[in-house]
């Protein structure tokens, strides 16, 4: 069975797909999103939701301008989606305290913040042990100090993705719960997508399949170097006071979320497509959590989640028209910063489709041709 033609078919149902669908629908495109499972059922719906444009891969170069653009768009988009749908995506300023436990930690942290001091709209400074514990009294007394950043932000990821989809529906964007199995082509044009049972015609196709996007390399004949990176999060209840900000140490974090629970994470596991929680990750996260906040040893574990993030070969997003195709695009590779970068990735897709070039700051660094072609 062949489903009727759409202007744009987006393969994948995460935040980049839903946000791209909303933006394209608002521009007048007839959009269908294909999701094999359900809305936000993978990394987008289970992420922590931090929006820190000053830390992580690709910073300060080459992605600082892109990350700052994404952060700014989150501010306006939160209001825009609330007005369109009535859904509060939970955007809030959330300061961050990145702890150092050794002199080496401290030296590295101090070097890392030199360039941050020149970024407008943020205040980033080194604080010693006593200053850090004045900011958040529950952090460990064993720290040498930390980097105090004002004001990164955060959203509630599932509410964010739900709002993006609901806003898209106002412009007749639809989501079909169907699994894509390949592409239909006519020369250098992609004319549709094959499904497990049938097909759908399309004028334009966007591959936004998260960690599964790499599997589409066989569909399009172009290597898309994206693999799954597993991350796990613990949600806990404690009798202690809520944390005043997000507390971080190396790749781990802990914060009190809007549900009143302590969220602690995360892991970085290369386990293929295995997305099951495990005890080793639980113990590792708990160890870092109690290293940062030792007084919360009474914390009761309520839920452990695991998801697969899309990680590109260099850790940076991929958003581009695929070489050799007239109308096939890719948007993937957000990794641990997928929620932050989703705004810029979606707007870049919109620009490429509607105007043929991206107007998002720093989007030129997201091109697929930065990777050597496989022979």
pLDDT category at 42 given cuts 50, 70, 90 is confident
Q: Classify the C-alpha dihedral 339-311-304-54 as positive or negative.
A: negative
Model confidence over 169-223: pLDDT tens digits?
999 999 999 999 999 999 999 999 999 999 999 999 999 999 999 999 999 999 9
Q: Is the pLDDT of residue 26 over 80?
A: yes
The CB density around residue 123, as the number of other CB atoms within 10 Å, is: 12
pLDDT at 1: 43
42 compared with 290, residue with greater pLDDT? 290
Question: Per-residue confidence at 368, pLDDT binned at 50, 70, 90?
Answer: very high
- At 332-343, the pLDDT tens digits run 999 999 999 999
φ, ψ dihedrals at 53, nearest 5°: -80, 0
Percent of the chain past pLDDT 70, that is, above it, reads 98
SS3 213: helix
How buried is residue 201: exposed, middle or buried, by Cβ count under 10 Å (0-12/13-18/19+)?
middle
Task: Report the pLDDT value the prediction gives residue 375, as an integer from 0 to 100.
Answer: 43
Identify the weakest region by mean pLDDT among 107-116, 138-147, 334-343.
107-116
Beta strands 2-11 and 96-100 are unpaired
- pLDDT value for 296: 96
Q: Which domains does the chain have, with CATH numbers?
A: 2-86+157-225+313-370 (3.50.50.60), 95-151 (3.30.9.10), 228-312 (3.30.9.10)
Whole-prediction pTM: 0.95
Quick one: average pLDDT of 308-328?
A: 97
pLDDT at 5: 77
pLDDT at 374 exceeding the cut of 80: no
Kindly report, residue by residue over 222-252, the tens digit of the pLDDT: 999 999 999 999 999 999 999 999 999 998 9
pLDDT of 211 reads 94
Helix (H/G/I), strand (E/B), else coil: 273: coil
- Distance between CA 150 and CA 179 in Å, rounded? 42
Per-residue CA distances from 191 to 28, 113, 178, 357 (Å) = 20, 49, 17, 22
What is the β-pairing status of strands 198-207 and 189-195?
antiparallel
- In whole angstroms, give the CA distance from residue 182 to residue 207: 11
């Amino acid at each position: 069975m062949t489903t009727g033609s759409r202007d744009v078919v987006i393969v994948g149902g995460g935040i980049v797909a839903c946000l791209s669908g909303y933006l394209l629908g608002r521009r007048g495109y007839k959009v269908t999103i294909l999701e094999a499972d359900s809305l936000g059922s993978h990394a987008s719906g289970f992420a922590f939701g931090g929006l820190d444009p000053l830390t992580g891969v690709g910073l300060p170069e080459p992605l600082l301008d892109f990350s700052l653009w994404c952060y700014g768009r989150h501010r306006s988009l939160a209001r825009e989606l609330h007005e369109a749908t009535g859904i509060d995506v939970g955007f809030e300023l959330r300061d961050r305290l990145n702890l150092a436990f050794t002199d080496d930690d401290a030296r590295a942290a101090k070097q890392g913040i030199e360039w941050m001091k020149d970024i407008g709209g943020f205040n980033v400074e080194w604080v010693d042990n006593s200053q850090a514990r004045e900011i958040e009294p529950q952090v460990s007394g064993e720290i040498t100090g930390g980097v105090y950043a004002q004001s990164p932000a955060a959203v509630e990821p599932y509410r964010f993705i739900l709002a993006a989809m609901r806003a898209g529906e106002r412009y007749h964007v639809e989501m079909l719960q169907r699994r894509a199995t390949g592409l239909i082509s006519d020369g250098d044009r992609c004319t549709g997508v094959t499904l497990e049972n049938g097909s759908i015609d399309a004028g334009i196709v966007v591959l936004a399949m998260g960690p599964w996007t790499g599997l589409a390399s066989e569909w399009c004949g172009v290597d898309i170097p994206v693999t799954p990176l597993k991350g796990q999060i613990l949600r806990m209840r404690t009798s202690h006071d809520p944390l005043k900000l997000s507390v971080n140490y190396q790749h781990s974090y802990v914060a009190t979320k809007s549900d009143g629970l302590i969220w602690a994470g995360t892991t970085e596991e290369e386990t293929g497509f295995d997305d099951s929680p495990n005890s080793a990750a639980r113990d590792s996260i708990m160890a870092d959590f109690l290293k940062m906040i030792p007084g919360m040893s009474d914390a009761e574990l309520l839920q452990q989640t695991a998801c697969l993030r899309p990680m590109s070969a260099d850790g940076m997003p991929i958003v581009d028209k695929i070489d050799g195709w007239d109308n096939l695009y890719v948007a993937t590779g957000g990794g641990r910063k997928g929620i932050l970068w989703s705004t810029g990735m979606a707007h870049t897709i919109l620009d490429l489709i509607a105007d043929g070039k991206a107007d998002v700051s720093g989007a030129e660094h997201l091109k697929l041709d930065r990777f050597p072609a496989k022979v």
